[in-house]
Amino acid sequence: MRNRSVTHKLLSYRLQWYYELILEKIKRSKSIVIFFAILMLAPFGLFDAFLVQPIINIGYPKFPTFSIVFFMLILQAVFLFWVKIQEEAVSAPAVKKYFNALPISSFKHYLVNMTVLLVANNILWIPFLVALFKAPYSVMTDFIDQLLFVLNISALITSIFAMQLQWLYRHYYAFIFLLMVDLLLYVSYIIQNELYSFILSLSALILAALFVFPWRFQFAISKILSAKKRRKACQKSN
Amino acid sequence: MSKIQLKVQNLAKAFLLKKVFENLSFELTPGCYAILGPIGSGKSTLLSLLAGSISPDRGIITINGVSLEKRPVRAKKYLSYVPEGVHVYPFMTGHELINFIRCVKRSALSSETEKLLFEFGIKENLSQAFNQMTVETQRKCLIAAATLGNPDIYIFDQPTQELSDEAKDTLAEYLLTLQDKKIVIIVSSDMNFVNSLEAKKLSLDLNSLC
């Protein structure tokens, strides 16, 4: 019970910190915020043209060319920029020095970071949701196409979220693996076989998800390795 | 009961191209230690590493035989850290901070903490948020919070900064009572305070602390 309350308290402080800092930033740069809001919500549809349509194209490309990968890279860059401009509010570096020295497990810190990041991304998820509703399901001939669309979008969202997390933790090496998600998705588009496409899209999603919970992944790997070592040691002693 | 001990082996830390420590090893037993060295020699970095606030590039830190890297939660339970400056959420009240640390360390409000809060004269200020307190009250609050959970190792970075002479005396008096039982590590530019503690002076450089 107490452990749970530590995480809850930590989360509530972090969310309050985020809210106060963002509010202050918005107040300071009010005109820029209003300009972007008008640009996005304008009737000539910048929101649709620059965000929703590219996402739909990534999920279900009519003509899969390598440009899809660039679309993905641009989206990922936008999300990374979004985190960069909010970094002080999201990761609260001003209090890290003190709170990191307290006996709180790194996994709890990680959960809190993840939740704050989800909250910080709120606005940017909207085009993804719109894309999910506006997707041309009627054009998608069978269930597999629809499934692939949802799978591709999920892999993209997961890879973006993983990239943001790894950026906050300064684990830049993870980007190499996460960029492989884009390549896996691209190969899944150009491949003709539906089963292979499905497997590739699913692997892209799993690869991205591994970097959302890297400790769990590392823990599992280290357990497997130590079990192997133990087995070898037993064999030697026998 | 395990022996109170802080052991550092082959510690290395670098920031970009600047090496702060290369192969630092030392062992501390109960007593008061003041770490000395020129500005930029890595005194505060060393304290942050010992407190587990930042991670070393290489090396092992063990607290009472528990590795700070492998079992950080257990190892951190043995120590309290007061960094330089105030790294607390500005909207947090003194009460909230103390309750949070009690919750984290699973400890009750000790008589030592109560006494220190009383002697610092900040009991009435605890209902204020940190951004409404004076810097001196903020520092006093952090120092009092460091006594929660009966830690074995106290790590203070510039503890007397912004403190009045009276508060410095109270702190020195308190730390003197700990000397035989606990490890107290201090980085302070206030040599009068260091001398009043009769602390062992350790000089820090790239490879040694002696």
Write the pLDDT tens digit of every residue in B17-26.
788 888 889 9
Long-range contacts of B108-116 (CB under 8 A, 24+ apart): B109/B148, B110/B147, B110/B148, B110/B149, B110/B150, B112/B147, B112/B150, B112/B174, B113/B144, B113/B145, B113/B147, B113/B148, B116/B143, B116/B144, B116/B147, B116/B170, B116/B174
Query: Mean pLDDT lowest for which of A19-23, A58-62, A111-115?
Result: A58-62
Closest-approach residue (CA) in chain A for B148: A102
Q: Which of A223-227, B34-38, B75-79 has the highest mean pLDDT?
A: B75-79
* pLDDT surpasses 80 at B2: no
Give chain B positions within 8 Å (CB) of A2. 103, 106
In angstroms, what is the C-alpha Rg of chain B?
17
Nearby residues of B57 by Cβ (< 8 Å), 6 or more positions away: B12, B13, B14
Q: How far apart are CA B13 and CA B50, in angstroms?
A: 12
Give the model's pLDDT for residue B159.
93
Give the model's pLDDT for residue A158.
92
pLDDT, mean over chain A: 82
Give chain A positions within 8 Å (CB) of B48. 97, 101
Query: For residue A141, what pLDDT band results from cuts at 50, 70 and 90?
Result: low
* pLDDT surpasses 70 at A223: no
Contact A104 B74 (CB under 8 A): no
* pLDDT surpasses 50 at A61: yes
For residue B179, what are its two tokens?
Answer: 């000397």
pTM for the model stands at 0.84
State the DSSP code for B209: B
For residue A225, what are its two tokens?
Answer: 């390795």
Q: Does B120 touch chain A (CB under 8 A)?
A: no
Give the model's pLDDT for residue A140.
66
* pLDDT surpasses 60 at A238: no
pLDDT tens column, B83-142: 998 899 999 999 999 999 999 998 888 888 999 999 999 999 999 999 999 999 999 999
Give the model's pLDDT for residue A177.
85
CB B92 within 8 A of CB A13: yes
In A80-162 the beta strands, taken as DSSP E runs, fall at: none
Q: Is the pLDDT higher at B131 or at A194? A: B131
Query: Mean pLDDT lowest for which of A97-106, A124-133, A148-157, A218-227?
Result: A218-227
What strand order describes the sheet that includes B183-187?
A: B79-82, B153-157, B183-187, B31-36, B200-203
Nearest-Cα distance to chain B for A130, in Å, is 37
For residue B193, what are its two tokens?
Answer: 């305070």
Residue A229: count other Cβ atoms within 10 Å of its Cβ.
Answer: 10
* pLDDT surpasses 80 at A234: no
Closest residue to B83, CB basis, from A9, A16, A98: A98
H-run or E-run covering B58: strand B58-63
CB B51 within 8 A of CB B6: no
pLDDT tens column, A67-84: 788 888 888 898 899 899
Cα separations (Å) of A82 from A157, B73, B136? 14, 32, 37
* pLDDT surpasses 80 at B15: yes
State the DSSP code for B84: S
Query: For residue A138, what pLDDT band results from cuts at 50, 70 and 90?
Result: low
For residue A196, what are its two tokens?
Answer: 């292979």
Give the model's pLDDT for residue A1.
44
Contact A9 B103 (CB under 8 A): yes
pLDDT, mean over chain B: 91
Helix H segments across B63-203?
Answer: 72-77, 94-105, 111-120, 135-146, 165-178, 191-196
Nearby residues of B43 by Cβ (< 8 Å), 6 or more positions away: B35, B36, B37, B157, B187, B204
